Chains A and B, each alone.
Chain A
């Protein structure tokens, strides 16, 4: 059973590089990748991509999302010429990709794919060093760079000598990201990179990607079929529709509040009202809460929040009236933490807490008080009245 402290850490990473900060930070717009009337028709006649017009801005994460067969992956693979378009033009940094020889083009663009696609016969370090070596770096420099990247993607140095088969799926995918970053390409293409790992690891990897992006400021195109992943990672999201049509290209909030058509509305989901909360940042009143430390003797009348020495939440205590010694085994755990990020976080904290009180924490993870679900609903009503929420 993970304690509160661990969750705070995970959550902390999420806020650090979260979409909110980056959206605001986007300054002067530079188009790094441009699709101009791009169509891909396969030999069997199926149209995978139909007249795609789209521009990807520098330093952003742009997500292509849609059901299978919608052309999102084909679109991505046309950027580094893994597939060539039937008609239309794709520009990378203003240059028509068809004028560049594919291997040269690809060495300048990072590429991460589902299941990582690591070379099973090469050690982790050699896998990461692949592109630098292809580009003619000397072996020593490439190895040093690879070791640096291992650290950047959060893997211990002793992983370098292992072979891919000795890593978990999540670890393999981290190495896949490191390999793509090795030659420090300005553009990163990621094709369903996290689809093959379990949900818990996937969330870790997503958070890690946001953290990395906050540091590295790459232009990332990310393909997924998972709308939650798209809304979490994307600063701009392109929703593709079956038949290779671009249905809508917008910021996540806009997709939720103003879906362009029925397809987008249904793809974004029925609970989009609840999802919208993710992007709302209204004031919710924070109430004081009774706290106690482990080992203390306290008199309890109602739900009491047990905290550690740094005032970080450990769990709830209840069910007894009178004086007790606070011990670990009496704690009722559970409940997410509200860090002031969005109304969704506040509501979730309140609804998932055993005491119905959502624990509010500051950046250090220390308890500042609690929120109540009723207050969140009222805040939502206010936001609605102010026109921030779609009816």
Chain B
């Protein structure tokens, strides 16, 4: 069963495992960057002003119900094959968790802290950037990492419309009735998901203030 995965022939060339891994990682990271650029400002703005919260929640739920396969196919039918449809489908998938995490994170900042920030003379932009967002980071990361897991897993589907990534092994294996190849694809996706999550966990540790770690764990860093 592991034979396919460990065959050196599958580890080289433009259709080899390293290339597919990088493609998959590329889809994932660019998707997350685009989604974060859209979702974090939206979630932060609504969380900060407290206005339109129901829009965020409603929009998140509606987007969550959207089948990624359908979005991918629709955009391919409209715009043709390529990476663009993949990004549209994956970004729409990644926006809800990041937006919901950001919104919830900002709303969860202790109102006393926010009151103090205004009371010491911070302008609204500073209240948001220097106090609310740094304190919301744990929940923002929560949403972001959830999105990352989903994107890594779902980017597999990109191969259905001929795009690259690890999904190629799953769909090619399916077409060839090559079970070893399919399994290798699935295992590699799961592995990549775990690695990506570990990477973001590390980033989280570096960027979130030690003051926000659960009490008791602050001492041993």
B120 partner residues in chain A, CB cutoff 8 A: 106-107, 111, 130-131, 134, 179-180
Q: Which residues of A contact B121 (CB under 8 A)?
A: 102-108, 131, 134-135
Say yes or no: is B134 at the interface (Cβ < 8 Å to chain A). Answer: yes
CB <8 Å contact, A113 and B209: no
> Measured between alpha carbons, how far is A113 from B116 in the docked complex, in Å?
7
Task: Return chain A residues, CB-CB under 8 Å to B215.
Answer: 165-166
How many cross-chain pairs have Cβ atoms below 8 Å apart between A and B? 79
Bound together, the chains give a CA A95 to CA B208 distance in angstroms of 42
Q: Is B2 an interface residue (CB 8 A)?
A: no
Chain A: number of interface residues, binned into ranges: 20 to 34
Tell yes or no: B162 within 8 A of A by CB.
Answer: no
Q: How large is the interface on B (under 10, 10 to 19, 20 to 34, 35 or more residues)?
A: 20 to 34
> Could you jot down 28 A-B contacts, CB within 8 Å?
A80-B119, A82-B115, A103-B121, A103-B122, A105-B121, A106-B118, A106-B120, A108-B121, A111-B120, A113-B115, A116-B112, A116-B116, A117-B112, A118-B113, A119-B113, A120-B113, A120-B211, A120-B212, A121-B134, A121-B135, A134-B120, A134-B121, A134-B122, A163-B209, A163-B218, A164-B211, A166-B215, A179-B120
Q: By the criterion CB–CB under 8 Å, are B211 and A123 in contact?
A: yes
Chain A residues within an 8 Å CB radius of B112: 113-117
Closest to B210 in A: A163
Contact B218 A165 (CB under 8 A): yes
Residue interface bits B110-143, CB-to-A below 8 A is 1, else 0: 1011011111111100100001001101000000
* Residues of A contacting B113 in the complex (Cβ-Cβ under 8 angstroms): 117-120
- Chain B CB within 8 A of A30 CB: no
Interface hits, B75-134 → A, CB 8 Å: 110, 112-113, 115-123, 126, 131, 134
**B211 — which chain A residues lie within 8 A by C-beta?**
120-123, 163-165
Residues in chain A within 8 A of chain B (CB atoms): 80, 82, 102-108, 111, 113-123, 130-131, 134-135, 163-166, 179-180
Chain A residue with Cβ nearest B111: A117
In addition to A118-B116, A120-B209, 16 A-B residue pairs with Cβ atoms within 8 Å of each other are A102-B118, A106-B119, A111-B119, A111-B120, A114-B112, A115-B112, A117-B110, A117-B116, A120-B110, A121-B131, A121-B135, A121-B212, A130-B120, A163-B211, A163-B218, A164-B211
Provide the residues of chain A in CB contact with B137, threshold 8 Å.
121
Q: Contact flags (1/0) for B201-221 with A, using CB distance below 8 Å?
A: 000000011111001001000
Alpha-carbon separation in the docked complex, A103 to B209 (Å): 25
In contact, A82 and B118 (Cβ under 8 angstroms): yes
- In the bound complex, residues from chain A placing their C-beta under 8 Å from that of B135 are 119-121
List chain A residues, Cβ under 8 A from B210. Answer: 163
